[in-house]
Amino acid sequence: MSERKYRVAVVGCGLIGGKRSDVIVNDPRCELAVVVDPNEGAAKRLGERVGVPWSTSWSTVLAETPCDIVVVATPNAFLADIAVSALKGGKHVLVEKPMGRNIHEAIRMAGAATSTNQVLKVGFNHRYHPALMRAHEMYADGEIGQIINIRARYGHGGELTDQGVHVIDLISWFAGEPTEVFGYLQTAAWPIAPLEDSAFALMKFSSGALASFHTAWTQWKNMFSFEVFGTDGSVTVDGLGRSYGQETLIVAKRKKEGGAPYMSRTVYDEEDISWKLEWDDLIRGIETGRYMGTPNDGITVMRVLDAIYRASEQRTPIGLD
Ligand SMILES: NC(=O)c1ccc[n+]([C@@H]2O[C@H](COP(=O)([O-])OP(=O)(O)OC[C@H]3O[C@@H](n4cnc5c(N)ncnc54)[C@H](O)[C@@H]3O)[C@@H](O)[C@H]2O)c1
C-alpha cells in the first residue's frame, strides 16, 4: 500500500456513481476528493450524502483537483472522452461498462492507457459476485474439466449493450477467446427500435467451446442463469440476489460410470459485495499491475457486440479474427 491515500474523483452522480462513492468513502486507503455531475442537483445530493465537495464540471476538476483515480460513471456517450482526458492527465481510471459506444471508442481508451502507462479498468462488477467467483475458481482448479459449452440467460432491464455486456464478458472470462458469433435481435414489446428488447446469440471460441445467450427486456419476472458445462461436471449460477433471487451456485460432478452426478448447492445471501471486491481489484491493479476488467477484456466485449449486430443484419456468422 502507498504511504498516502489515493485521492479519487467520481464523475457521474447517478445510480452507479453513488454505489462507487459509498465503497470509496468506506475504504481507508482512499479519499473521495470530489463528485462531479453537470446536473447540479445530482452533484450536490451525492456530495452532501457522502460528505465531500461537489462540482458541475469534470474538465475543471481534472485540471484543478489533485487526484490519482477517476471513476467515470456517466451515460455511455460521455465515457470515452472523460476517460481519455483523465488518462492523459496521469490518472488511473475505472470506466463503467460498456467500454464506450463502439469498438473505436474502446480502442481509443485502451490506447490512452497504454501510452500514459495508467491503469484502465472496465466496470464488470458481475465477475465479483461470490457465486460467479467461486464457479470460476472451481473451473480454474480443473474441477469441471475442459469447458464444452456455456448457456446464459439474463433479463429484464436492458438490451445487448446493457445486460448483454456482462453476459459476453462472463462467457469470455470462462471460455477464452471468441472467434465467431451469430445473433438474432428482436424488438417486440417496447418502442425502442432500432434497439432490441431481446438478443439471442451464439459464440464459438478458439478452444472449440460454444456458448449461447439470451438477454431480454421481456423477461417479465427478472432472472439470471449462467451454466458452464465441462468434460467432468458443470457449475451453474442462478440469481444475483434481491429481485433476481438468491445467488446460488449449483455444482454437478460427473460420475465416470454414468448415472446421476454428485450435486452440491451453495447459497450466497449476503449483501451485494461485488462493488467492493471490484474496487479492491482496481487498487490491486494499481499496486501490482494484475487485475480483471483490463482494456483487452473490454475490447473483446465490444468486438463481440459489434459482430452480433452485423451478424443479425447480414444473417450470417461473423468471424472475429
Ligand atoms: N455494472 C453495472 O452493473 C452497471 C449497472 C448500471 C449502469 N452501469 C453503467 O454505469 C454508467 C452510468 O449508469 P447509471 O445507471 O448510473 O446512470 P444514471 O442516469 O443514474 O447516472 C448518470 C449520471 O451521469 C450524469 N452525467 C451526464 N453527463 C455527464 C457528464 N458529461 N459528466 C458527468 N456526469 C454526467 C447524469 O447527470 C447522471 O446524474 C453507464 O455507463 C452504465 O452503462 C453499470
pLDDT digits (tens, 9 = 90+) for 128-142: 999 999 999 999 999
CA end-to-end span of the chain, whole Å? Answer: 40
Class for domain 126-270+304-319, per CATH?
alpha beta
Q: For residue 72, give the C-alpha cell.
A: 467515470
Measured CA to CA in angstroms, residue 238 lies from 154, 176, 243, 292, 314 at distances of 10, 22, 12, 22, 33
- Given the CA of residue 76, which atom of ligand 1 is nearest to it? 41
Pick the CATH number of 6-123 from 3.40.50.970, 3.40.50.1820, 2.40.170.20, 3.40.50.720: 3.40.50.720
Q: For residue 311, give the C-alpha cell.
A: 451478424
| Ligand 1 shell residues, CB under 6 Å | 11-17, 36-39, 42, 58, 73-76, 78-79, 96-97, 123, 125
In terms of pTM, does the model score above 0.85?
A: yes
Summarised one tens digit per residue, pLDDT across range 224-278 is 999 999 999 999 999 999 999 999 999 999 999 999 999 999 999 988 999 999 9
What's the gap in Å between 26 CA and the centre of ligand 1?
A: 21
Contact of 161 with 76, CB cutoff 8 Å: yes
**Tens of pLDDT along the chain (321 residues)?**
557 999 999 999 999 999 999 999 999 999 999 999 999 999 999 999 999 999 999 999 999 999 999 999 999 999 999 999 999 999 999 999 999 999 999 999 999 999 999 999 999 999 999 999 999 999 999 999 999 999 999 998 768 999 999 999 999 999 999 999 999 999 999 999 989 999 999 999 999 999 999 999 999 999 999 999 999 999 999 999 999 999 999 999 999 999 999 999 999 998 899 999 999 999 999 999 999 999 999 999 999 999 999 999 999 999 997
Nearest protein CA to atom 29 of ligand 1, as residue: 74
Nearest protein CA to atom 6 of ligand 1, as residue: 16
Query: What are the domain boundaries of the chain?
Result: 6-123, 126-270+304-319
- Given the CA of residue 42, which atom of ligand 1 is nearest to it? 39
What's the gap in Å between 15 CA and the centre of ligand 1?
A: 7
What's the gap in Å between 104 CA and the centre of ligand 1?
A: 20
Contacts of 58 (CB under 8 A, 6+ apart): 9, 11, 36, 82, 85
Nearest protein CA to atom 43 of ligand 1, as residue: 97
What's the gap in Å between 263 CA and the centre of ligand 1?
A: 40
Nearest protein CA to atom 40 of ligand 1, as residue: 75
What's the gap in Å between 233 CA and the centre of ligand 1?
A: 39
Order of strands across the sheet with 6-11?
54-55, 30-36, 6-11, 69-72, 92-96, 120-123
What's the gap in Å between 76 CA and the centre of ligand 1?
A: 7
